[in-house]
Structure 1
Amino acid sequence: MASAVHHNCHRLHALLLRPLHAPSRHPRLSFLPCSARLAAPGCRLGTHAAVALAEPDLVPPDPDPEGEEEGDDDDAQFVVVTFYKFVPFEDPHAEVASHLRFLQGRDIHGRIYLNEQGINAQYSGPRKDAVAYADWVKMDHRFCDMLVQTSPALTGHAFPRLKLRYKPALVQLEGGSLHLPLLDSSMRAKPLTPSKWKERLEARACLDLSSSETSGRKLLLLDVRNDYEWDVGHFEGAQRPNVDCFRSTSFGLSEDASDPLNGIDKEKTDILMYCTGGIRCDVYSTILRKKGFRNLYTLEGGVSNYLRVEGPAGWVGNLFVFDGRLSLPPATFRRSWPSGEEAAVEKERWVGCCYACRSKVVELRHRNCANIDCNRLFLCCRWCAKELAGCCCSDCKAAPRLRPLLPGHQRYLKWHVYRDGLSTPVATDSKDNPDCCC
């Protein structure tokens, strides 16, 4: 009898820890014919006319019959799971071995890094395997309160393979991160729940120049991501980062006039930091804290968690993610799907900006510059992709070492393959060759 009670309690505990299911169906892009473009056929490169290339179409989830239980089909659906946690590991290499043993025989692809400061994981797999791994990690009391985020994988695995290993830095940062006080929560930015973050955004919108001068306090919104991520989507009022890789981030470290933290009052300025999932803000806030910035706040769970809880309020565009999906509409993360007027409003906000001509595009598809020596990852409309032969600018189009323009969602192999001539390049589908997270 006692053993049966213990078994049932264990099952209940596992169910309570299991993340909420994402909708079984997801947004799709319905491409418009070329004749539907708003730009005139004779429009020259560099004009600012809008180019309507594709319109996201919200597809509501299939209603579950009342009383129907989850079956094998639900467990087989592919999802992407992300989580991180700063905890001390005395022997991180032993932890890596333990995680590898658990994942034996499970269909998991992704990036899972561990070191003396904790774990950072982004992976995909059938829901049954993906959730089982997260539940197993949370069985360790040090991870019991860890936020686990789950979203639809759209088309099978979002990562090409599993990379689970020890890594000196949980995120790519110049000089590494082991020297940073990541394990000291007082040195990291104070986390704000999505609802509190939304309140701050609304307060910031109402704060005019005269009131800020009177009160002496100011609020600064800091996007701790890359420029191409900002191009896909960002919070209203956030300045576009001037970096293309997180390791090059230098907010608060220079006297450059373009640095939004240059010259601000460190005592009277509230700095609201955000990134995709939260870890980059946690890491970088320790650097700013050591530089004397006192009032640091971060969005708990990052933008993905905010979109799940609050929807796109204050957010413009889609969310760039570092896996084969690349760009996701806000509704991908919602607990419930919008309908009617709310869906129409969201559709109007799903707009990006072409890097080459600055026209507005709804088809948020990235490509790498065809110039091997550039390889910039940028957002591009189909008009400019054809006009510039897959390059990001006219200078790159005239470069000596060019790759061919790839159609549709195909993407190049890693750029060093073309540079070094190691093999005959073959185009791959985007999900097989995602750019590595910074």
Structure 2
Amino acid sequence: MKQKLLTAVTAAVMAAGPALAELKIVDTSYRTGPYAANGIPFSDGYQDYFTLLNERDGGIGGEMINLVECETGYNTEKGVECYEGTKGDDSLVYQPLSTGITYQLIPKASADGIPLHTMGYGRTSAKNGSVFKWVFNYPANYWDGASHAVTHILNQNDGDIGDKTIALVYHNSAYGKEPIRTLEKLSEKHGYDLTLLPVDHPGQEQKSQWLQIRREKPDYVIMWGWGVMNQVAIQEAVNIRFPMENFIGIWWSGSENDVKAAGERADGYKALTFHNLGRDYPVYDDIQEYVVDAGLAAGAGDQIGSVLYNRGMYAAMLAAEAVKTAQEMHGVAAITPEQMRDGMENLEITEEKMAAIGLPNFGPEFTVTCENHGGNGLGAVSQWDAEAGKFELITDYYQSDQEIIQELVKEDSMSFAEENDIELRCD
């Protein structure tokens, strides 16, 4: 049962008490290596939002945010080193931005009592809060994304894809393998044929995969890529004249960096998203004034409104709202990691709250509970308009196929609980 937020009482408590320690949040970033083009804008958005709160609001609840950045290069070993080197009893939350790093940190952070927010990535079955007490992947996960892609294909074919073939071009890693089980289950349900085409790290060599696509002519291609792999895949698709409107990337394969190298021929390429696009939001006026124009931007200040800047900003906003929730719940401003976890588990994102933040209609509403650490699982489809030079939403938000996904989440999470002797919670 969700705890009630005693806003008036806690506001009085926080006003009466002295300021204590800063709110420490760690940004495990990657500004170097083959994935830097995508890591940089996300990290810029993540950091700039927290800088905005410090400069405009004096932090959160009167406590300044201490943002600690640690470079991982999207390398799992370095990611673990960053965690070990920065963790402490004042570390409120980690956003690993890597499925490989996430898998390694789940047991470590759980043992240390530090929350992980793996927004739209990581171990999908961590949605089950009964098993994964310290891990949150709201507002949507990989299996939701796989379902969204299939739903879009169904909608393009009047609900019947029994005669269609779909190829999955995926990063040959824990990240890229996440959607396979879901797509296989959906194949059984809807009758399409599924072809699996792994691409080895970092993804610069894909000739054989796209030659196979040219030879077998699948009706649709779904891509689970990241970094340079996305750029190469889109260029290869252009080279074999694969129809871009039938090429759909997961949300980590849908940034401006991924399509611009292919020029006008990338027009029509599609990608999933769990939030809105562009920079026409009041919060960006404040970021421009208090952060960019003040010379405090994490980067050059030229990424505002780009897909991955928006996503990093969104992740920071969700963390900040969880901090506020935790402060209100516990009546203190300088919260602990355990209290931050409570704030994340009791987080409610409403349109009213988003509008007040300066992000009206930026994303769907969702609620986190003890049982559900993954949100409502909504996602939409965006499409690249080469002439306009931007992605635009072309659908409403889809609900993922919960009948299939919940079964998979339960199966995988219960297996993890049994293997690790985890006692279930949320009674």
From the two aligned structures, give the one with the greater helix fraction.
Answer: 2
Query: Common fold, TM-score beyond 0.5?
Result: no
The two structures have a TM-score, normalised by structure 1, of: 0.29
Structure with the larger RCO, 1 or 2 (CA within 8 Å, 6+ apart): 2
State the structure with more CA Rg.
1
* TM superposition score normalised by structure 2: 0.30
